[in-house]
Structure 1
């Protein structure tokens, strides 16, 4: 398959200068809510996403990861786990994928070229269902999923790694040989039970923090490439 050229908006948005927006009133918001809204209003990625028609600023994270690791290829088949609100699926279509299916517990407004399924990716029949929708095994399984945070660092770390493990198990059932997998994790090191099976199943496994990921956020991504069939994986053709 041929790698596509960089899609629109792949460059890092310029930071605003002297244009900081400040909230005029709290309007019953908590301090945390006020801080989040203030940050959104002054985030260049949020502004760029709105201007360019992306569903969320997270679209830039996938573009930056793709620019670095060459994950999306023309004609490739892709599964987007936890796809809401649809930003990553938008990027995949813009960059020339052949087919993409997204699944989420939330309803997602339609995106041209994307088949969204309202459901739980952990349902036993979902791997076969999504493969059927794609017309074969996936070339890329991507997950930007994250559980609701508790504010307790260790608890949040364990929960997001557990979610990434579930996404990995799904990928092992649906990827074509040579395929790739992306999942969100948190800084502080991914757990051994996640990395060990990934290293056995893929030719390369790396951690990455794209520039669009906020500096004050502990989120990172694990990027695995070169899926190979192992005794512990399930590969259906």
Structure 2
């Protein structure tokens, strides 16, 4: 398991100046300065600390294999796409799709578009040259600060990602997405259990301890 270094005690850094910054901005910057996964991501060349979440999910569930066709929804800034490229190798195909413009990732096809649009779905399938073996998503909606509302919004986003996966996955394929802990995703869970052989949950160690995010991993797509 890829873990953060344990020798971080006593290394806490404070912002040199808080002038002109909101309280929320100060908290975020301080957290970034003292997050070992942020430092590890920079050292390893990953575009975001989120890369370690996928690495840890892959270590647990063996999602990424050489030669696979992978779709990364909401791919920006590209950390998950980078990990997928490294693990599927030259024989594999990785397509990253995002509403935002995104810098190229060597070895991947990067598309700007909306996975809910039929035209963009066709572009993804054309880039894959076939159906996907894995659809993955680390997307999260903009938060409101109201826990119940934020939970419903991320479940709705997860449901849309699942609908996309059900259309593009090859039999035997897998789906992985981020949710928040809570009980509103019952219908989504039922769908996954009906359409996949196995559905499991995990909170990677790279997920911040104060975060309620949870990942659901469905494998063995029944077609």
- TM-score of the superposed pair, with normalisation by structure 1: 0.90
- Alpha carbons 2:73, 2:115 under 8 Å: kept: yes
Q: In the alignment, what sits opposite 1:113?
A: 107
Mean alpha-carbon deviation: is it higher for 189-198 or for 199-208?
189-198
Deviation of the 1:28 alpha carbon: 1.3
Task: Quote the residue 1:50 is aligned against.
Answer: 42
1:11 aligns with 2:2: yes
Matches within 5 A, 1:1-237: 11-15=2-6, 16-97=8-89, 98-229=92-223
Quick one: distance in 2 between partners of 1:76 and 1:124?
23
Distance in 2, Cα, partners of 1:88 & 1:53: 12
Q: How many residues in Structure 1 have an aligned counterpart in Structure 2?
A: 220
The structure 1 segments of at least 4 consecutive aligned residues displaced by more than 3 Å after TM superposition are: none
Pairwise CA RMSD: 1.1
Give the CA deviation at 1:190. Answer: 4.8
Unpaired stretches in structure 1, ≥5 consecutive residues: 1-9, 230-237
Structure 2 stretches lacking a partner, 5+ long: none
Q: Measure, in 1, the Cα distance between the counterparts of 2:95 and 2:123.
A: 10
With 19-28 and 77-86 compared, the bigger mean Cα shift is at 19-28
Describe the superposition over 1:127-170 as per-residue Cα deviations: whole angstroms up to 9, x where unpaired.
22211110100000000000000000110000000000000000
TM-score (norm 2): 0.96
Q: Contact 1:143–1:167 (CA<8 Å) still a contact in 2?
A: yes
CA contact (8 A) 1:127 1:173 kept: no
